[in-house]
């Protein structure tokens, strides 16, 4: 993995993350949370929150050690896993979250000057807006980043983090009168106001979300695969431990009422708190703002370099770098402009909720990527740091569950906004793909496990669970498509279909290349239709050897194939003789047989399917009815009906009619009573003549046959249906049970 010798080490990743974790919420809202929920209630918030952040930090670290993480950090990882369109959607949401976060931290910074604003109002009678501090501070930050870039930003980060840790040390050293008179039993589980748990959680959770902040510096790191795991995981775990002790310190140092009512209660607890806590608040907010203002432009620049943004001129402008270290100057200007707008507004609470949602979507995506890579078992996924796949899955589930628990309305708004954004990007970049890659491995694994489950349970062999698993072989795929269409109707909803194009010859380099080219051509043609058929090619020296091979093929569903579909051209009986010659091979495999006699004319779908039964079709009847019902499940046949005809022996028409009606009713196959007719052949009348007379306009005619008939009549069995179009000849190996 390549390294940037002039880049940063691990420290900036750690300090950017820890400074964002120990931010404004720690100073302004954490005491309020302890006052509302009690010590153990806040412990639960910390634990639940870290059920998202710890898996995310581990997943991020794992992915970072498997691939070179370039500029853009989280966006780069997501876009290279889910594809540029989905990655761009999440990346844009992530950028705006990071950019507006700068404004959040600058606005929070002004709370360090609360005594000044109180003095001006109470003593001088001047009610100053917070913008008199926030706007100049935003200007200084902008000047710092634009003039000196990330180098000075990192150096300033060290300074403010030092102040932050000093202020925390003074907080732990400090004591109050309450602390001296009261004792706190940590084993007394004080859960209070738990009906407000998720309200408090929504306010406190952003305090834990800084663990990925340092990842945005990925393009500026010497060795991202080392620095990102070390920095991110260390910041996450150390931050969690610090929050545990801070919750304990709040609980033992002040009354619950004081914790709830005074947002700067830390100043009354810390040693020298009147000075050091506002200074620490200023340091924490400025350090968080510095982290965000360094990371957001790099995310935006990566989006621009990937041409995800609209308008090429705009993308070119934002993609440009400045100086030897390739600082994202133009992207920084744009980011600062957004931050200035929200600082000037001064109230971003509503937007803040959506920002939290976007961060949660990002964390959920990172965990899902790790889980899918694990589940897919891709040999190319070989991270040097590994986490547990179910821990990643937990982080994914928790991210989206907590979104809805925090604010259902804003979750829906966020998901709708993301969906609209995705379709806008997809419309502009229809040629981009990529999401298939990460899901492909997982789908392979799922398919394999399901097949093994079906095989082990042997449910596929149960007669009560019958469904067609059909394999068709043809060497004339480009001349006639009706066999493929019929297979598609079988597999559209209820069955499974495998279509094999036969290339007759010996396997060698030339025939292999021919097979690959033919398969791609078949797939392109098939993709023009909505189909559920699995296509493949087979190189075999003869038609007989091909049949012997396909009857032994495993089914794509995990169940064994139970039917073979043949086709011949009705006008010339082309291909019929070799079907008959190899019929015994299929029967040896105990499989049902369908032989399609296809005509040149288009099918008349609305004219329905006509089933013709004879007394010898006892075994075939159920299979013929089931196949007709399955065919009608395809949209092309949606207005069609099944017509049943039975040619009986003289004198038993009424009996047969009642039996047929009863059989249809028991089977629950949608065949109307008025569509069931029985006939007795008149003297001199043939079965085929009657079929030609009654079914000349049918969309498809289905006729049964037996092994004995085929053996005796050979090709003559399939001739004589000149008035019909497409005829499907069906022979069942054994009676199919309809239940």
Q: What is the pLDDT of residue 72?
A: 63
Kindly state the tokens that stand for 520: 């791609």
Q: What does the angle CA 192 – CA 197 – CA 199 come to, to the nearest 5 degrees?
A: 130
Q: What is the pLDDT of residue 463?
A: 45
Identify the band that residue 180 occupies on the pLDDT scale cut at 50, 70 and 90: low
> Which sign does the torsion angle of CA 656, 658, 660, 663 carry?
negative
Q: What is the pLDDT of residue 723?
A: 92
3-state DSSP of 152-209: HHHHHHHHHHHHHHHHHHHHHHCCCHHHHHCCCCCCCCCCCCHHHHHHHHHHHHHHHH
CA nearest neighbour of 463 among 622, 617, 625: 622
SS3 645: strand
Q: How far apart are CA 614 and CA 729, in angstroms?
A: 13
Pick from 179-188, 216-225, 409-418 the range whose average pLDDT is largest. Answer: 409-418
Yes or no: say if 247 and 43 are a contact pair by the CB < 8 Å rule.
yes
Q: Domain-by-domain residue ranges, the chain?
A: 13-431, 458-731
Contacts of 181 (CB under 8 A, 6+ apart): none
Residue 67 has pLDDT above 70, yes or no: no
Kindly state the tokens that stand for 278: 């506002």
HSE-up of residue 20 (Cα within 13 Å, Cβ side): 31
End-to-end, the C-alpha distance of the chain in Å comes to 61
The tens digit of pLDDT for each residue in 441-486 reads: 666 666 666 666 665 665 545 445 678 889 999 988 888 889 999 9
**Cα maximum dimension of the chain:** 121
Span 15-44, average pLDDT: 86
Span 416-440, average pLDDT: 72
Per-chain mean pLDDT for the chain: 82
Q: What are phi and psi of 379, to 5 degrees?
A: -60, -25
In the chain, the percentage of residues whose pLDDT exceeds 90 is 26
The tens digit of pLDDT for each residue in 196-231 reads: 888 888 888 878 877 776 665 666 677 777 787 888
Q: How far apart are CA 443 and CA 725, in angstroms?
A: 41
Q: Tokens 């619950």 identify what position?
A: 256
Identify the band that residue 731 occupies on the pLDDT scale cut at 50, 70 and 90: very high
- CATH domain 13-431 topology: Amino acid/polyamine transporter I (1.20.1740)
Q: What is the pLDDT of residue 609?
A: 95
Residue 3 has pLDDT above 70, yes or no: no
Yes or no: say if 181 and 29 are a contact pair by the CB < 8 Å rule.
no
Q: What is the pLDDT of residue 643?
A: 93
What is this structure's pTM? 0.64
Yes or no: say if 604 and 576 are a contact pair by the CB < 8 Å rule.
no
Identify the band that residue 45 occupies on the pLDDT scale cut at 50, 70 and 90: very high
State the pairing for strand pair 592-598/727-731.
Answer: antiparallel
Span 556-572, average pLDDT: 84
Highest CATH level, class, for 458-731: alpha beta
CA nearest neighbour of 289 among 561, 637, 23, 78: 23
Yes or no: say if 298 and 327 are a contact pair by the CB < 8 Å rule.
no
Yes or no: say if 663 and 636 are a contact pair by the CB < 8 Å rule.
no
State the pairing for strand pair 700-704/609-613.
Answer: parallel
Q: What is the pLDDT of residue 321?
A: 78
* Pick from 174-178, 508-512, 686-690: least confident: 174-178
Identify the band that residue 595 occupies on the pLDDT scale cut at 50, 70 and 90: very high
State the pairing for strand pair 642-648/676-680.
Answer: parallel
Span 545-569, average pLDDT: 86
> Which sign does the torsion angle of CA 216, 219, 222, 225 carry?
positive
Q: What is the pLDDT of residue 434?
A: 54
Yes or no: say if 140 and 134 are a contact pair by the CB < 8 Å rule.
no
Identify the band that residue 379 occupies on the pLDDT scale cut at 50, 70 and 90: low
């Amino acid at each position: 993995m390549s390294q940037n010798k002039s880049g940063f080490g691990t420290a900036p990743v750690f300090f950017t993350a820890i400074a964002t974790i120990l931010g404004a919420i720690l100073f302004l809202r954490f005491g309020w949370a302890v006052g509302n929920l009690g010590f153990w209630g806040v412990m639960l918030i910390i634990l639940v929150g870290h059920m998202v952040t710890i898996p995310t930090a581990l997943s991020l670290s794992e992915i970072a050690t498997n691939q070179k993480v370039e500029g853009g950090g989280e966006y780069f990882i997501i876009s290279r896993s889910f594809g540029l369109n989905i990655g761009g959607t999440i990346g844009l949401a992530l950028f705006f979250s990071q950019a507006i976060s700068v404004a959040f931290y600058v606005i929070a910074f002004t709370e360090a000057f609360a005594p000044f604003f109180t003095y001006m109002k109470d003593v001088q009678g001047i009610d100053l807006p917070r913008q008199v501090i926030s706007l100049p501070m935003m200007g200084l930050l902008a000047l710092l980043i634009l003039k000196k870039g990330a180098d000075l930003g990192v150096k300033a980060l060290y300074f403010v983090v030092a102040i932050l840790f000093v202020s925390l040390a003074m907080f732990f050293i400090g004591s109050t009168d309450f602390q001296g008179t009261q004792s706190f039993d940590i084993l007394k589980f004080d859960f209070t106001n738990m009906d407000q748990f998720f309200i408090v959680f929504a306010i406190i959770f952003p305090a834990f979300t800084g663990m990925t902040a340092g990842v945005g510096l990925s393009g500026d790191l010497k060795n991202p695969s080392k620095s990102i795991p070390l920095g991110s995981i260390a910041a996450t775990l150390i931050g969690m431990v610090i929050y545990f002790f801070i919750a304990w310190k709040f609980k033992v140092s002040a009354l619950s009422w004081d914790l709830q009512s005074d947002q700067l209660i830390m100043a009354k607890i810390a040693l020298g708190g009147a000075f050091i806590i506002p200074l620490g608040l200023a340091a924490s907010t400025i350090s968080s703002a510095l982290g965000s203002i360094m990371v957001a432009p790099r995310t935006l620049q990566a989006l621009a370099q990937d041409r995800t943004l609209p308008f090429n001129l705009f993308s070119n402008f934002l993609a440009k770098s400045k100086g030897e270290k390739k600082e994202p100057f133009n992207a920084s200007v744009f980011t600062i402009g957004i931050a200035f707008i929200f600082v000037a507004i001064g109230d971003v609470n509503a937007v803040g909720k959506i920002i939290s949602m976007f961060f949660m979507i990002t964390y959920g995506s990172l965990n899902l990527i790790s889980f899918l890579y694990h589940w897919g078992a891709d040999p190319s996924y070989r991270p040097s740091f590994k986490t547990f796949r179910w821990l990643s899955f937990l982080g994914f589930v928790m991210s989206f569950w907590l979104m809805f628990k925090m604010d259902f309305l804003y979750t829906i708004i966020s998901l709708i906004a993301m969906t609209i954004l995705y379709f806008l990007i997809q419309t502009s970049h229809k040629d981009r793909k990529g999401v298939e890659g990460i899901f492909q491995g997982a789908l392979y694994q799922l398919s394999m496990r399901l097949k093994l489950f079906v095989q082990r349970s042997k449910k596929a062999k149960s007669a009560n669970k019958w469904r067609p698993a059909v394999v068709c072989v043809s060497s004339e795929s480009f001349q006639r498509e009706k066999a493929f269409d019929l297979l598609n109707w079988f597999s559209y909803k209820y069955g499974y279909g495998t279509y094999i194009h036969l290339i007759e010859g010996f396997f060698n380099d030339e025939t292999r290349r021919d097979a690959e080219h033919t398969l791609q051509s078949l797939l392109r043609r098939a993709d023009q239709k909505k189909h559920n058929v699995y296509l493949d090619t087979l190189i075999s020296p003869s038609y007989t050897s091909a049949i012997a091979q396909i009857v032994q093929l495993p089914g794509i569903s995990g169940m064994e194939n139970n039917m073979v579909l043949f086709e011949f051209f009705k006008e010339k009986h082309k291909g019929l003789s070799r079907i008959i010659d190899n019929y015994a091979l299929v029967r040896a495999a105990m499989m049902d047989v369908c032989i399609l006699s296809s005509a040149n004319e288009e099918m008349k779908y609305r004219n329905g399917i006509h089933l013709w039964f004879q007394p010898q079709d006892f075994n075939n009847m159920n299979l013929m009815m089931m196949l007709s019902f399955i065919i009608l499940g395809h949209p092309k046949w949606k207005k069609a009906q099944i017509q049943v005809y039975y040619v009986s022996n003289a004198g038993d028409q009424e009996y047969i009619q009642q039996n047929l009606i009863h059989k249809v009713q028991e089977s629950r196959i949608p065949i109307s009573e008025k569509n069931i007719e029985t006939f007795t052949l008149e003297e001199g009348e043939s079965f085929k003549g009657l079929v030609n007379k009654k079914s000349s306009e049918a969309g498809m005619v289905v006729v049964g046959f037996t092994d004995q008939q085929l053996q005796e009549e050979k090709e003559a069995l399939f001739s004589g249906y000149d008035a019909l179009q497409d005829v499907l000849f069906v022979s069942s190996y054994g009676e199919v049970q309809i239940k």
